[in-house]
């Protein structure tokens, strides 16, 4: 019984991490991870990061209707 619960917890954790990656919710964590590899890079705050991501996403020409 305990093995089943442990397996279910690990499966749910893997599922949750995958869902956050797929939906883009973990974008800031990936940014911090990648920026930490560089030398002398100043990290953006979480709020500033999301504002810049929105500006980048919506500043391109939109070919819709």
10-38: pLDDT as tens digits: 999 999 999 988 988 889 988 888 887 76
When divided into structural domains, the chain yields a total of 1
Higher pLDDT among residues 1 and 10, named by residue: 10
The C-alpha angle with vertex 29 and arms to 25 and 32, in degrees rounded to 5, equals 145
CB-based contact 62:51 (threshold 8 Å) = no
Return the closest-CA partner of residue 46 out of 33, 27, 20, 59: 27
pLDDT per position as a tens digit, 41-61: 788 899 999 999 889 888 877
Does residue 35 fall inside a structural domain? yes
Assess if residue 52 is contained within a domain: yes
Structural domain includes residue 58: yes
**Is 61 inside any structural domain?**
yes
In which domain, by residue range, is 47 found? 24-65
Residue 5 lies in a domain: no
Q: Note the pTM of the prediction, 2 decimals.
A: 0.62
Instruction: Report d(CA 50, CA 8) in Å as an integer.
Output: 33
Structure-token pair, residue 46:
């979480």
3, part of any domain: no
Cβ-in-10-Å burial (0-12, 13-18, 19+) of 49 comes to middle
């Amino acid at each position: 019984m305990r093995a089943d619960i442990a397996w279910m917890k690990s499966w749910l954790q893997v599922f949750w991490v995958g869902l956050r990656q797929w939906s883009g919710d973990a974008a800031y964590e990936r940014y911090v991870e990648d920026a930490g590899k560089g030398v002398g890079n100043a990290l953006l705050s979480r709020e500033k990061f999301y504002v810049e991501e929105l500006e980048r996403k919506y500043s391109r020409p939109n070919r819709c209707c």
